[in-house]
Amino acid sequence: MTWEELENAALECRRCALCETRTKLVFGVGVRDADVMLVGEGPGENEDLQGEPFVGRGGQLLDTMLTLIDLDRRRNVYIANIVKCRPPKNRDPLNTEQDACIGWLRAQIDLVKPKIIVCLGRVAAGVLIDPAFKITREHGQFFEKDGVLYTAIFHPAALLRDPRKRPETFEDLKALQAKIREICPGTYA
C-alpha cells in the first residue's frame, strides 16, 4: 500500500463513532522515511480543526522539546497518534476506539520503518510497549521489539500541567539524542 492509498483510505474511515464528531481526521505529519517516529494519544481541539498532530499549546511545547535535540517535524521525524479522530472533550480514547484505529498506525509504522519509536505519554506507551507500562517509573528506558527500539517520555500536556517533570524529560531527551546518534546517523546528517 502506498502513502496516498493509506491516507485516502483513512480519511474515509468509519470504523468507530469518533468519525461522527470529528472535524478533520488527523493522519500524521513529518518525514515519511524518518528513522525516528513519535506517537501521541489522539487529536485535541486544535488538531481536530487543523488536521495536523500537535499544533496546540502542547504541540508548541513538543516542538520546543524537539528543537533542543535538533529534531523537527519538517526535517527528520514523523509524528502520528494512536487514534486519528478527536475524542469528545479530550477524554482518553476508549479501548474499543484504540482497537478500531490501531491498524492505521501499524500501517504507517510499516511504511516509515522507523528505528526508534518515541511514545508520548502513558496511553501510547500502553499500546505500543506494554499494557502495564508505568510512565512515572519507566519513562526514558529503551525496549527492543522486533528490531525496533521503543521508549516513552511524558506527554507535553503532562509537562504543562506539572512543570516539575521537565528536568527528567530533559534527561530523557538527551538520552534519546545519544541513541539517535548511535543508531540513526542519517537523522542528524
Q: Which of residues 120-179 bind ligand URA (CB under 6 A)?
A: 120
The DSSP bridge partners found for residue 40 are 81
Q: Are 56 and 96 in contact (CB under 8 A)?
A: no
* 53 makes contact with ligand URA (CB under 6 A): yes
Residue with smaller CB distance to ligand URA, 50 or 177: 50
Which of 1-9, 52-60, 127-135, 145-153 is the region at the interface with ligand URA (rule: CB under 6 A)?
52-60
* DSSP3 helix / strand / coil % (the chain, rounded to 5): 50, 15, 35
Question: How far apart (Å, rounded) are the C-alpha atoms in residues 80 and 78?
Answer: 7
Residue with smaller CB distance to ligand URA, 69 or 157: 157
Residue with smaller CB distance to ligand URA, 59 or 140: 59
Q: Is the dihedral of CA 4, 121, 114, 179 positive or negative?
A: positive
Compute the least distance from the CB of residue 54 to ligand URA, in Å.
4
Q: Are 93 and 39 in contact (CB under 8 A)?
A: no
Of 28, 30, 36, 44, the one binding ligand URA (CB under 6 A) is 44
Which of 41-49, 64-72, 139-147, 178-186 is the region at the interface with ligand URA (rule: CB under 6 A)?
41-49
Q: Which residues contact 179 (CB under 8 A, 6 or more apart)?
A: 116, 142, 149, 151
User: Within a 13 Å sphere around the CA of 50, how many CA atoms are in the beta-carbon half?
Assistant: 13
* 43 makes contact with ligand URA (CB under 6 A): yes
Which of 51-59, 100-108, 135-143, 167-175 is the region at the interface with ligand URA (rule: CB under 6 A)?
51-59
How many chain residues bind ligand URA (CB under 6 A)?
Answer: 13
